[in-house]
A and B are shown apart, each in its own frame.
Chain A
Amino acid sequence: MGFDNIRQWPDAENAGQSWITGFRKAPSSVATTTSAWTDYSYYAGSPPANFYASTPLEASVVDPTRGIYVPTVSPATQHLRNLKLMSGASAATSTANSRQGLILSDYLLYYPFIDTDAVGEQQDMTNTTAIPRYEGGQVVAVSQSTASTTGQFTFTYTNENGVSGRVSQNHFTFAVGAGGQVVASSVGSAASYHPFCSLQAGDSGVKSIESVTFTAAGGGLMALVIVKPLMTAYVTQEARRTTSGNLESYGACNEFAAMIHNRPVQIIDGAVLNLLAAGYGGSLASSFLVGLVETTWN
C-alpha cells in the first residue's frame, strides 16, 4: 500500500518507516562535453563506482552496492520523500558544474563492452538474465573508454510488451575522453544530446536488447544500460569560495520534496538508484555531486 492522506506521512515517519542516505559522486578529471549527458554511477565516491565490468555483450543486473542505499520494505511500498542536491566546484573560480539537469533513475540491466568499431558486424547479446523490477525501461549508451570519432548504430530489442525484433532509430555517437559519458546522442547528429535512445515508433520501453550494429565506427567501447527514470531534478549553481580578491561564496541547494515539487515516486525493493546528468554550464570534470535521499514507506 502507499499513502491515503497527508497525515499518514508524518505518522509513518514517527513509526520509523523512513530512511535517509547521503551520497557523494566525483567525476574524473577528464573533461565531459558541455550539455551532453553523463552517468554519475560511473564515478568514484559513495556509492562506489559502477564500471559495468562483466562479461562482454551479456546481460547483467547492476550491482546493488553501486546504488544509493535504500532499505527493503516489502510488503510496504517505499516512496521518495525528498531529494537534496549540491555540486561542489572543481576549483575556486570554476563555474563549469553549474546548471545540471539530472534524472534520478533505477538502474536495471546492462550489456557491457559493445565495440563501436565493429562496422557492419551484428553484435549479438546474450540474454540469460532478465530485467528486474519493471517490464521495461529506457536505454542509455554509456562510454566505457575513450571514443575517437563519430559513429552510428542501431539496436534490435524486445519492447515492454514482449514483442521482439523491434529496431531502434539510427543513433550517432561522438568523441569522448573517458568512460562514463552518454555517447549515443541523438538521431539527428553527433552534436545534439539526449539521455535516452530513441525506439521504434510506438514503443515506450525496452525489456531486453538482442543485437547492436554499427554502420560507422565510433572508436571505443560502450555499454547499453536499461534504466527506469524516476524523477527529474536540477542543480542551479556550483558551490565554491573564491580565494583571492574580494572573497565571495557561491552555491545553492536544490531541494525536491514529494507532494510539493513532484509526485512521490515509488522506489521498488532492490532499486539501484543513481543519477544521470547534463552539464549545461560546462565540463563536470573534478567537480562533485553531493546529496541526500530521503524515503518513507507505508
Chain B
Amino acid sequence: MGWTSQDDLINQITTNGKYGNVFYNKTLSSAGTAGHWQLLSGHAGSPAAATFAGSDLTFVSTDDTWSEGAPYHGGNVSTATKHFLGAGAACVAAAGAPWYLMAIDLVGYVPLSGTNVSTTGTKTVTMTALGGGDRYASGEGLRLFVAADTALGINAPTCVINYLDTGGGAGATTTFTSTASLGIGQLLNSGTAANKYNPFLPMASGDTGVSDIVSLVWSGTAHASGTVVIGLCKPLWTIPVPATGLYTKVDFLNAFPSLPRIVDGANIQFLLFQTGATTSAGTIMVDFDYGYGG
C-alpha cells in the first residue's frame, strides 16, 4: 500500500527513511534531428551506454537489475508501494531546445539486426506473453516504439507491429514511415512528416496495452543497414526543459494525478523529444526522488 495521509508520508520518508534519490546523465553521441524522440539508453553516461544485447527477434525482458544500465532505485518494497515524489532535468547543448523529457519503465525490447533490418517482410518475434509474474501482468498501459540501436542506413521503409492486447486479442499498430539515416536511439516512428507518431505507436481502437509482441512487418524499400529495437514500455512522467542550462523541477506530490508509481523491478529509462536538432555531445541530467510507505 501507499501512504494513508500526508502525515504518514512525512513520517515514512523522514523518521522511517523510506526515501531515496536517483541521478542520471547522458551525453549524446551524435547530433539529433528536430522533431524526433530519442531513447537515451544507448548513449554514454551514467548508467553506461546500453547495446541492447540479445538474440535477434527474441524479446529480452529487463528490470532494475538490467546489466546494460538500469538506474538503481532501492530495490523491491512490496508489500509497500513506491512512488515518485519529484523530478528535475536540465539539458546543455548549443542547439536543440526546447526539450521534453519522458521517464519510462522499459519492460523489455526485441533486437533486430542484419537482414531483419535490411530486408522487407514479416519478422516474427519470439516472446512469452506477459502474465501474473510480470510487472504489468496483462500489459496494461504498455506502449510500443521502434528505436535505432546503431545508426541506420539510407531508405525509409514503412512498418507495422502486430501484437496481442491486454486480453490476448490480436492487434496491429498504425503503419508508420521510418526515416533514413537516424542516429543512435532515435525513434523510427517519430518525426515531423506524415505517418509519424510521437513517441508511441497508435494501437487498435479500444486497446489499452500490449501483452505480447508478435511480429514486425517492413514494407517498401528496406533500410540499407543498421540495427533497431522494438521497445515495450510504460510511460511514467514528462518534464519540459525550455532552454539550455535551465533546470526544471516537477513536484509529483501536488500535481494531478499525483505520485506516479514505481513498480517493483521497474527499469527506468528516458526518452528525449528534441524539438530542434540537438548538438552532438549535448548533455542531459536527470534526477528524481522517491518514497514508499507501508
Contacts and interface: CB of A to CB of B under 8 A. Distances in A.
B is a partner of A = yes
Interface in A251-275: 251-253, 255, 257-260
B194 A16 contact: no
A258 B98 contact: no
A14 B137 CA distance: 12
Interface stretch (A68-76, A113-121, A192-200, A209-217): A68-76
A45 B208 contact: no
Nearest to A250: B243
A22 B196 CA distance: 11
Contact of A71 (B139, B140, B205, B245): B205
Nearest to A9: B257
B197 A86 contact: no
Residue picked from A13, A19, A239, A252, most chain B C-beta under 10 Å: A239
Contacts of A26: 192
A33 B197 CA distance: 31
Contacts of A292: 100, 238, 273
B6 to A, nearest CB: 15
A24 B275 CA distance: 7
B97 A257 contact: no
B209 interface: yes
A44 B191 CA distance: 11
B142 A258 contact: no
Contacts of A86: 98, 100, 240, 242, 275
A298 to B, nearest CB: 11
Contact of B202 (A71, A257, A260): A71
A16 B166 contact: yes
Interface in A227-244: 237, 239-241
B35 A239 contact: no
Interface string B135-167: 000011110000000000000000000000010
B199 A13 contact: no
A253 B244 contact: no
Contacts, number: 130
Contact of B256 (A9, A74, A239): A9
B243 A24 contact: no
B255 interface: yes
B203 A88 contact: no
Most buried by B among A20, A73, A255: A20
A10 interface: yes
A253 B190 CA distance: 22
Nearest to A84: B240
A16 B206 contact: no
A249 B141 contact: no
Contacts of B275: 24, 86, 88, 288, 290
B49 to A, nearest CB: 24
A72 B242 contact: no
Nearest to A288: B275
A281 interface: no
A46 interface: yes
Contacts of B166: 16
A22 B199 contact: yes
B248 A48 contact: no
Interface residues of B, number: 47
A46 B196 contact: yes
Nearest to B100: A292
A14 B35 contact: no
Contacts of B206: 72-74
Nearest to A17: B208
Chain A contact-residue range equals 35 or more
Given A16-B209, A241-B97, A253-B98, A45 B192 contact: yes
B123 interface: no
Nearest to B191: A46
A18 interface: yes
A94 to B, nearest CB: 13
Interface string B184-198: 000000111111111
B171 interface: no
A21 B198 contact: yes
B276 interface: yes
Contacts of B142: 16
A50 B194 CA distance: 11
Q: Which 7 A-B pairs have the closest CB atoms?
A: A251-B242, A16-B208, A253-B240, A16-B141, A249-B243, A251-B243, A22-B198
14 contacts: A9-B257, A15-B208, A16-B209, A20-B238, A22-B199, A65-B194, A71-B202, A73-B206, A86-B242, A240-B97, A249-B246, A250-B242, A260-B256, A292-B273
Interface of B: 34-35, 37, 94, 97-98, 100, 102, 139-142, 166, 190-200, 202-203, 205-206, 208-209, 235, 238, 240, 242-246, 248, 255-258, 261, 273, 275-276
Given A26-B192, A71-B205, 19 more contacts: A9-B256, A16-B140, A16-B209, A20-B200, A22-B190, A22-B199, A24-B35, A24-B192, A24-B198, A46-B193, A46-B196, A48-B193, A71-B202, A73-B205, A86-B240, A88-B98, A240-B97, A251-B242, A255-B240
